[in-house]
Amino acid sequence: MKTLLTIFLAMAMSIASVFATNDLDKELFKYYSANKVAGKNEKVTDYTLARRLYIDVAGRIPSPNELKAYTSYSAPDKKQKLIDKLLFSEDYVNNFYNVFADMLRIRPDRLSDDVALLKSYPYIQYVRDNLRLDKPYNVWVTEMMTAKGTFQANPATGYMLRDNGMALDNLATSVQLFIGKDIACCQCHDDPFQDYTQKQFYQLYAFVAQEENRANRKDYKDILTKVDAQIKEITKKDRIDNNIRQLLGANLFDITENSKKEAHLPHDFKYEKDGKPNDIVEPVTFDGKVKDVKGDRREALAKWITSQDDFAYSIVNRIWGEVVGKPLIEPVVNFDVKNYPEGKIVAFLGDKLKSNNYSLKSIIRLIVESDFYHRVAYDGPTEAYKLQAPLVKRMSPYQVWDSILSVVIPDVNYTRINFSEYSKLVTVDWLEVSGQGLLDQMKSIQEYEQSLSKNFLKYKGIELVRSAYLLNKNNFTGLFLKEFGSSDRLLIDTANNDGSVSQILVLMNSPLIDLINSKESQLMAAYESANKNKEIIFISLLARLPTIPEKAIIEKTNVNDLIWVLMNTREFIFRS
């Protein structure tokens, strides 16, 4: 029996090698053999593959013209060329900006909870540039965790300032986000489910405890008194201008290190074996390998975090989830790759990330170029899913919105906003500060903020701009995304991809359907170009031709009604 099993597995492996197209496929076939899984070999059509690539990499469905260009192109390397095109496009930047904005909890309308005036624009530009340039992920994270200086001069400080005044929370978030360990409970007590203690948490906190976020200007009160009096005289109003106060306060942000500051155990610390309340705590990592730090403590912590295997494992597991439809290991925190059959795939991808200089694009490319990625999607019971193929997955709220735009406007990426000017506008010249100067400066800031959306295309007041450029969460687009489950970006992983009746009502009753049916939309232009052949509607929205029964129905259906129906189907909202 053992001999027959050995022969069977050898045959399976030899057959598998025929279909393997890259290293990921070879690793997956090892997984199939070890777990007695029958992989799927049926491939998707060109239409489905194009739609899948556009959604997973570009964050939207292809426009009718893009779909036609790919399916009619006969070159043998057309798949490779499309992957290259998408990975180096603004589509990629816009799509994965949303992914990382959720992870990093970036809100355009404010840098942090206690700084309403100062917007996140330079930080947004920093993240977008990192994605565009494919900056090594370990370098990117190190820059954010060790950033010094002002927000205007060094936008990477936006990561620390996002949690201004909440250093303990920022530390817990960093550990959860970057190495996949949820240690938030340890702020208050030993973790009852893991081996982390409260003392260990504060030993880790000691690495960042010397950080100071605000400059201590001795003349600040005098400046406020002078400016307040000047503004009251200019405006003839006997009240303090709160916006001016916030602008001045925002210019005090300046991250520095104070080597005299020490971390202490909390005043209510109860674990006598580990210390007493208010004891000084020295920096020590969880594994005890980094301690007695003589130099920059934050740099030592960042080096330790980015050198952990879990640093690579955590991000590749998340990327797999974004592209394939479900992370290899769930939940995405507190996992040990040794405890899961899929752990070897995570470790393989993590090693690939390291060997490719922490290039995030290299992992995405590895996945989408694989034979695995081109198989017909799995749509069976979750408990029976064993990596046979990519999952049928629901588009994210951002992808739904951006997909609607792609069948409406010719260039969905027409928006090009460079936020670098904002840094200059919000910088106060302390040597020349005056009431009139600050009033003029505030006016310039407000005019700049209003100008950002001035060139957005609009339809009945709706801004037709990609979700990555959403600057006002209270407008139609913001409410649309919220209805479809977008993250509030207060905490990590708060997005919700569940469907609801209200989502259907939004698609059915909003002005969007009128816009899609208008003569100006790309979908209707494609319909006219196809001599009003309604099959082009199916191809554009669902990336397939209608079935024979469907053909009989659509011949009797008004084209506007057809669009309305297809837009409200599961097939449109989901990626197969």
Q: What is the mean pLDDT of the chain?
A: 92
pLDDT digits (tens, 9 = 90+) for 264-294: 999 999 999 999 999 999 999 999 999 999 8
pLDDT of residue 120: 93
Question: In terms of domains, do 410 and 529 share one?
Answer: yes
138-152 average pLDDT score: 97
Question: In terms of domains, do 356 and 453 share one?
Answer: no
Question: In terms of domains, do 406 and 364 share one?
Answer: no
Q: What is the spatial distance between Cα 314 and Cα 253, in angstroms, rounded to a whole number?
A: 31
Amino acid at residue number 134 = D
- Predicted confidence band of residue 115 (pLDDT cuts 50, 70, 90): confident
- Given a cut of 50, whether residue 515 has pLDDT beyond it is yes
- Predicted confidence band of residue 10 (pLDDT cuts 50, 70, 90): very low
166-180, 242-256, 503-517: segment of lowest average pLDDT:
503-517
556-561 average pLDDT score: 92
pLDDT digits (tens, 9 = 90+) for 165-209: 899 999 999 999 999 999 999 999 999 888 899 999 999 999 999
pLDDT of residue 183: 93
**Domain boundary at 316, 343, 376, which?**
376
Amino acid at residue number 442 = M
Question: In terms of domains, do 417 and 517 share one?
Answer: yes
Residue 199, in any domain of the structure: no
> CB under 8 Å to 108, separation ≥6 — which residues?
119, 120, 121, 124, 470, 471, 473
Domain range enclosing 27: 2-92+308-376
pLDDT of residue 19: 45
Question: In terms of domains, do 418 and 369 share one?
Answer: no
Q: Answer whether the bond into residue 331 is a cis peptide, omega within 30°.
A: yes
Q: How far is CA 412 from the centre of its chain?
A: 19
Residue 563, in any domain of the structure: yes
Q: What is the spatial distance between Cα 76 and Cα 71, in angstroms, rounded to a whole number?
A: 12
- Predicted confidence band of residue 80 (pLDDT cuts 50, 70, 90): very high
- Given a cut of 80, whether residue 6 has pLDDT beyond it is no
- Given a cut of 50, whether residue 5 has pLDDT beyond it is no
- Given a cut of 90, whether residue 430 has pLDDT beyond it is yes
Q: Which residue has the tokens 């050898």?
A: 10
- Given a cut of 60, whether residue 342 has pLDDT beyond it is yes
Amino acid at residue number 219 = D
- Given a cut of 60, whether residue 405 has pLDDT beyond it is yes
- Predicted confidence band of residue 26 (pLDDT cuts 50, 70, 90): very high
Identify the burial level of 547 via C-beta atoms within 10 angstroms of its C-beta, where 0-12 means exposed, 13-18 middle and 19 or more buried. exposed
Question: In terms of domains, do 339 and 421 share one?
Answer: no
Q: What is the spatial distance between Cα 184 and Cα 176, in angstroms, rounded to a whole number?
A: 8
Question: In terms of domains, do 538 and 427 share one?
Answer: yes
Question: In terms of domains, do 361 and 427 share one?
Answer: no
pLDDT digits (tens, 9 = 90+) for 343-374: 999 999 999 999 999 999 999 999 999 999 99
- Given a cut of 60, whether residue 71 has pLDDT beyond it is yes
Amino acid at residue number 33 = S
Query: Are the C-beta atoms of 439 and 234 separated by less than 8 Å?
Result: yes
Amino acid at residue number 161 = L
Catalogue the long-range contacts made by 378-382 (C-beta closer than 8 Å, 24 or more residues apart). Answer: 378/40, 379/576
pLDDT of residue 14: 39
397-417 average pLDDT score: 93
Query: Are the C-beta atoms of 308 and 179 separated by less than 8 Å?
Result: yes
- Predicted confidence band of residue 15 (pLDDT cuts 50, 70, 90): very low
pLDDT of residue 520: 84
Question: In terms of domains, do 88 and 32 share one?
Answer: yes
248-258 average pLDDT score: 93
Question: In terms of domains, do 355 and 426 share one?
Answer: no
Residue 299, in any domain of the structure: no
Residue 458, in any domain of the structure: yes
Total domains present in the chain? 2
- Given a cut of 70, whether residue 494 has pLDDT beyond it is yes
State phi, psi for 557 to the nearest 5 degrees.
Answer: -105, 135
Q: What is the spatial distance between Cα 302 and Cα 175, in angstroms, rounded to a whole number?
A: 10
pLDDT of residue 175: 97
Read out DSSP for 88-150?
TSHHHHHHHHHHHHHHHT--TT-SBTTBSSS-SHHHHHHHHHHHHHT--HHHHHHHHHH--B-
> What angle, 0 to 180 degrees and rounded to 10, lies between the N-to-C axes of helices 167-179 and 309-324?
70
| 214 strand-pairing partners | 253
Q: What 3-state DSSP class applies to 393? A: strand
**CA 71, 76, 78 angle in degrees (round to 5)?**
50
pLDDT digits (tens, 9 = 90+) for 329-338: 999 999 999 9
Question: In terms of domains, do 443 and 515 share one?
Answer: yes
DSSP state for residue 252 in the 8-state scheme: T
Query: Are the C-beta atoms of 218 and 263 separated by less than 8 Å?
Result: no
pLDDT digits (tens, 9 = 90+) for 315-330: 999 999 999 999 999 9
Closest CA to 373 of 48, 133, 15, 9: 48
Identify the burial level of 331 via C-beta atoms within 10 angstroms of its C-beta, where 0-12 means exposed, 13-18 middle and 19 or more buried. exposed
445-467 average pLDDT score: 91
Catalogue the long-range contacts made by 559-565 (C-beta closer than 8 Å, 24 or more residues apart). Answer: 559/517, 559/527, 559/532, 559/534, 560/517, 562/534, 562/537, 563/513, 563/516, 563/517, 563/523, 563/537, 564/508, 564/513, 564/517
13-22, 37-46, 246-255, 546-555: segment of lowest average pLDDT:
13-22
pLDDT of residue 7: 43
pLDDT of residue 411: 93
Residue 72, in any domain of the structure: yes
pLDDT of residue 2: 47
The token pair at 212 is 């100071």
pLDDT of residue 504: 86
| 291 strand-pairing partners | 284
Q: What is the spatial distance between Cα 127 and Cα 159, in angstroms, rounded to a whole number?
A: 10
245-254 average pLDDT score: 92
pLDDT of residue 184: 92
Residue 138, in any domain of the structure: no
- Predicted confidence band of residue 13 (pLDDT cuts 50, 70, 90): very low
Percent of the chain whose pLDDT exceeds 90: 80
Q: What is the spatial distance between Cα 321 and Cα 317, in angstroms, rounded to a whole number?
A: 6
Question: In terms of domains, do 495 and 536 share one?
Answer: yes
Q: Which residue has the tokens 């200059």?
A: 424
Residue 136, in any domain of the structure: no
Residue 188, in any domain of the structure: no
**Domain boundary at 324, 346, 376, which?**
376
